[in-house]
Amino acid sequence: MDTHSVTDKNQDLRMVVEDRHDLLRVYEILAHEKVIGVDLESDSMFHYKEKICLLQISTPDLNILIDTLSIKDLSPLIPIFSNPAIRKIFHGADYDIRSLFRDFKIEVSSLFDTQIAAKFLGITQTGLSSILENRFAINLEKKFQKSDWSKRPLSAEMLQYAVLDTYYLIHLASMLEKELKEKGRFSWFEEECELQSKVRFSPHKDEPLYLRFKGASKLSPLNLAILDEILKWRERLALIKDLPPFKILGNQQIMDIINIRPVDIDGLKGLSKKQIDRFGRSILMSIKSAMDIPQDKLPSFPKEKRQKQNAATLKRINVLKDWREKFGKKIGLDPSIICPNSLIQEIALIDHCSPERLKGLNEIRRWQIELFYDEICTLLASVFDEV
């Protein structure tokens, strides 16, 4: 366990914000801060269109809980999040960054993601609860992770849970920053955080729903048509009922239906009596609609266009993966962090190795070029000579 200690004296200093007047007060408070911890709670498990329900912000002296269902306009906070002089500490920021921009057009600068920091320190269990337990002997209550944060009023226990998700972030970030600098990896971390701050929410394109359904690519045209009809029915109903589609009918239940192709209510195996009573006839109608589609009109799953790899490229990929495993063990990092498979594929396709050539790759980072340019080029040169 880490020898650092963290005080709980400010844990109960809490400000619940439910109107614009208090939100403007929050702006005045945060404008003078140098560092804040941030998290949010949403309702993706309970509604068709997810949204942020609570925004938590901790300063060294105060814990702020902003009810984003009561306050629809968070524009007063946009300058806070975009101010590069204020460090914003998140843990696992990807979803939060996307959601803040989607719901409130908030962009985050000076991001410090403690999960990214943990990965660059070689920590294997990077969940916040695991890190806080290991560092501070703090046990976070997990039962509220899947709670419906859109319900009001929020219980005292839920508010306390929300506070704890940000309360320790400032102290944790300070510790992790020191360790990253000691290992000479802080610049790697900063580059990753800068890239992380640029991610944005991407709405689903107007395309068949089965393209996002696991296992759809292996289905026959008729079964794919059945899947398509059921998914369209489920989506329409989920929208009407304001529920996530999986709460109407689970994906495994859908696959079971497709494999059986029932023609009557008795054939709907794997569904609860409640589901059969509510949706049985609609599901059977969806199946019949698909069965009535002419053979030449049945859908087909688009084949992924893969670039054919010759023997020389495959050899480079294998050599690079072997190098990555050894290099990861040497510096104590997960090999996939050092050089993910997508980057290995790109490197294996280059015809010569140079800093300029590596910089032109889509997946490459500056820190990766500095870290292993010499080794990669020496390695590839030996492979080029053999081919």
Could you read off the pLDDT of 132-188 as tens digits, one per residue? 999 999 988 888 988 999 999 999 999 999 999 999 999 999 999 999 999 999 999
The answer to which of 86-95, 199-208, 250-259 has the lowest mean pLDDT is 199-208
Which pLDDT value is given to residue 307? 66
pLDDT at 105 exceeding the cut of 90: yes
Percent of the chain residues past pLDDT 70, beyond the cut: 95
Where among 250, 272, 297 does a domain terminate?
297
User: At 324, which CATH number?
Assistant: 1.10.150
Distance CA 10, CA 61 (A): 6
Contacts of 246 (CB under 8 A, 6+ apart): none
Higher pLDDT, 7 or 368: 368
Domain endpoint, select from 273, 297, 321: 297
Are 87 and 177 contained in the same domain? Answer: yes
The reply to whether 230 and 189 lie within a common domain is no
Identify the bridge partners of residue 41 per DSSP, sorted by sequence position.
54
Any domain includes 207: no
Residue 192, token pair as written in the block = 């990753």
At 338, list the tokens: 């050092």
Q: In Å, what is the CA distance from 263 to each residue of 82, 250, 286?
A: 57, 20, 11
* Pair 292, 320 in one domain: no
Domain count, the chain: 3
Residue 5 pLDDT class (50, 70, 90 cuts): very low
Q: Which two tokens stand for residue 110?
A: 């000076």
Q: Residue 123 CA to chain centroid, in angstroms?
A: 19
Distances (CA, A) of 30 to 14, 24, 88, 114, 231: 14, 10, 11, 20, 46
Same domain, residue pair 37 and 176: yes
Query: What tokens were used for 258?
Result: 């497709």
Angle separating helix axes 169-182 and 128-136, nearest 10 degrees: 80
* Residues 38, 84 share a domain: yes
- Among 142, 161, 196, the domain boundary falls at 196
pLDDT mean over 377-385 = 78
Indicate the average pLDDT of the chain. 93
Q: Which two tokens stand for residue 170?
A: 């400032």
381: pLDDT strictly greater than 60: yes
Task: Classify residue 54: in a domain, yes or no.
Answer: yes
Secondary structure letter of residue 14 according to DSSP = E
With a pLDDT cut of 90, the percent of the chain lying above it is 81
pTM over 0.95: no
Give residue 123's domain range. Answer: 14-196
Residue 162 lies in a domain: yes
Report pLDDT for 332.
95
* Band of residue 264 on the pLDDT scale cut at 50, 70, 90: very high
pLDDT for residue 55 is more than 90: yes
pLDDT digits (tens, 9 = 90+) for 292-311: 999 999 999 998 776 677 88
Confidence of residue 73 (pLDDT cuts 50, 70, 90): very high
Residues 258, 332: one domain? no
Same structural domain, 99 and 129: yes
Q: Is residue 124 in a domain?
A: yes
